[in-house]
Amino acid sequence: MDAYLLEFANMLLRWLHVIAAVAWIGESIYFVMLDNGLKTPKDEACRKKGVFGEMWAVHGGGFYHNQKYATSPEKLPDDLHWSFWKSYTTWLSGFALFTLLYMANPSFYLVNPNSAWEWAANMTGWQANVMALLFLLGGWVVYNELCKRISPNMERDGVLSIAVAVMMVVVAYLSVHIFSGRAAFLLTGAVMATAMSANVFFWIIPGQRRMVKALKAGETPNPIDGKRGKQRSVHNTYFTLPVVLLMISNHYSFLYAHELAWVIMTLFIFAGALIRQFFVLMHSGQIKPAYPAAGVVLILISVWVAAPSSAPAGGTDVAAAGDGPSVAEVSGIINERCVTCHSREPSHPSFNSAPAGITYDSDENILNSIAQIKQVVGSNYMPLGNMTQMTDEERAVIAAWQE
Ligand code: HEC
């Protein structure tokens, strides 16, 4: 019953998280489009009022006329629309989900027993939890320091972008070496997503509050607040596409269970940012197909990098020994190593229904999923956390199994 309620809570939180993220990212993409699509108003009186850009749009059966003021309107209305709850809700629900799923079961989901770094492979559950929290916090601190030190007055934003890109490669590399593949993708996405929400919380909203306060007091707002808000929201826009991919990556073990998972992750982060760049420019009227084309090239490289190798795992020469293992031999291994979890009635205490809906109760089920079994066993992704202690010899038998 407990496992069932936990699953239910997980589902509800995920629902909330996706809805809040869609609303937040949707609004953020909308405002980038609006900002880049502004045209100088034709109406002289309008320009005199301080409007420096406007956009006409038709949507949902009505006509809209947005105007952006260069500095400030003569009079600020009381019912100003602010955007922050969507961002905070996304982060809070995402963090709750991470706690419920990963931090409640760290030895399953966070620890990578196959890590090339011995200390990481031997982390206890709570050490892995502390590590995950440090990772998120550290990501924000480093990113924030880079922004503050490299481009404090927004005068070196180009150099800053390169530094942030390098930082993301390092994050991808570290995460894959410290955590299990699935958690590594998620945590790298969470480092970016945390930076995005923290940008809103620590810089964009406080800056806007100072601007509004100054205007209400009849003073001129400090332009640095506006510029910094813009800098951070530009970063946020390039993070969005990569973050979405990293968040849904947990459905695709061929991405994160690969030994070069950090390279695959890096390729996708840059591909996402390049594709986003195309749309950012497009809204300001420039069509630059080279950006998405470069993004597609990176994705094609990742198709090549992530392709499963044909060599049997463990390198043992079982295949050469004959026609490959018998069905009985394979199903014996699966029964011993997989069915504790992958059964209609799992005997493993952490599961009350088959994980990912996959069951191996009958030989028929096993035979129907040969390719998938070979993939997850060959990449060491399954058995999860090698909880059932599958041996290299057994992995080699699975790899040598003929379809
Ligand atoms: C300790 C429990 C446990 C054991 C043992 C286990 N699995 Fe899994 N398996 C899981 C969980 C949990 C998931 C879902 C993970 C996820 O959501 O990606 C999963 C997912 C899968 C998937 C789907 C992967 C995907 O790409 O979404 C396959 C295939 C799979 N397991 C096969 C196996 C095989 C084959 C074995 C035995 C060699 C095995 N599992 C042993 C817990 C286990």
The per-residue pLDDT string of the chain (403 residues; one tens digit each, 9 = 90 and over) reads 577 788 889 999 999 999 999 999 999 999 999 999 999 998 888 888 889 899 999 999 999 999 998 777 878 888 899 989 999 999 999 999 999 989 988 988 899 888 889 999 999 999 999 999 999 999 999 999 999 999 999 999 999 999 999 999 999 999 999 999 899 999 999 999 999 999 999 999 999 999 999 988 888 889 899 999 999 999 999 999 999 999 999 888 888 888 899 999 999 999 999 999 999 999 999 999 999 999 999 999 999 998 876 554 444 444 445 677 888 899 999 999 999 999 988 898 878 788 888 899 988 889 888 888 988 898 888 998 788 999 999 999 999 987 6
Q: 381: CA distance to ligand 1 center in Å?
A: 8
Q: Is the CB of 342 under 6 A from ligand 1?
A: yes
Q: Which residues contact 56 (CB under 8 A, 6 or more apart)?
A: 63, 64, 65
Best probe residue, ligand 1, of 358, 379, 395 (max atoms within 8 Å of C-beta): 358
Whole-number Å distance between alpha carbons of 149 and 315: 49
Partners of 63 in beta bridges: 58
> What pLDDT does residue 322 have?
60
> Closest ligand 1 atom, CA of 333?
38
Residue 195 C-alpha to ligand 1 middle, in angstroms? 31
Residue 1: per-residue pLDDT:
53
User: What is the Cα–Cα distance from 256 to 268, expressed in whole angstroms?
Assistant: 12
Amino acid at 62: G
The residue type found at 351 is: F
Question: Is residue 341 in contact with ligand 1, taking CB distance under 6 Å?
Answer: yes
For residue 348 and ligand 1, the question of a CB distance below 6 A is answered with yes
The C-alpha atoms of residue 394 and residue 373 are separated, in whole angstroms, by 12
Residue 400 Cα to ligand 1 midpoint, Å, equals 20
Q: What pLDDT sits at residue 315? A: 43
| Ligand 1 center from residue 323 Cα (angstroms) | 27
| pLDDT at res. 179 | 95
- Using the 8-state DSSP alphabet, how is residue 357 labeled? G
Q: What is the C-alpha separation between 225 and 205, in angstroms, rounded?
A: 10
Q: Under a CB-based contact definition with an 8 Å cutoff, are residues 336 and 391 in contact?
A: no
Q: H helices of 69-150, where?
A: 85-98, 106-109, 118-121, 125-150
Q: Is 398 helix (H, G, I), strand (E, B) or coil?
A: helix
* 388 CB near ligand 1 (under 6 Å): yes
Q: CA angle 258-261-264, nearest 5°?
A: 115
Please give the pLDDT value at position 367.
87
Pick the closest to residue 238 from 175, 297, 303, 157 (CA basis). 157
**Two tokens at 378?**
């060959």
8 Å CB contact between 112 and 178: yes
**At 247, is the secondary structure helix, strand, or coil?**
helix
Are 28 and 90 in contact, with CB atoms under 8 Å apart?
no
Per-residue pLDDT tens digits for 96-142? 999 998 998 898 889 988 888 999 999 999 999 999 999 999 999 99
pLDDT value for 3: 72
**Cα dist from 303 to 33, 112, 187, 254, 296, whole Å:** 31, 24, 22, 10, 10
Probe residue for ligand 1, chosen from 329, 384, 401 as the CB with the greatest number of ligand atoms within 8 Å? 384
- Residue 260's closest CA among 310, 298, 304, 295? 304
Query: Beta partners for 127?
Result: none
- What is the pTM (predicted TM-score) of this model? 0.84
Minimum-distance ligand 1 atom for the alpha carbon of 108: 1
What letter does residue 325 receive in the DSSP assignment? Answer: -
Closest CA to 75 of 218, 274, 264: 218
List the residue whose alpha carbon is closest to atom 36 of ligand 1: 338
Query: What does each C-alpha distance from 280 to 27, 43, 112, 285, 292 come to in angstroms?
Result: 14, 26, 38, 9, 12
- pLDDT the model gives residue 239: 97
373 close to ligand 1 (CB < 6 Angstrom)? yes
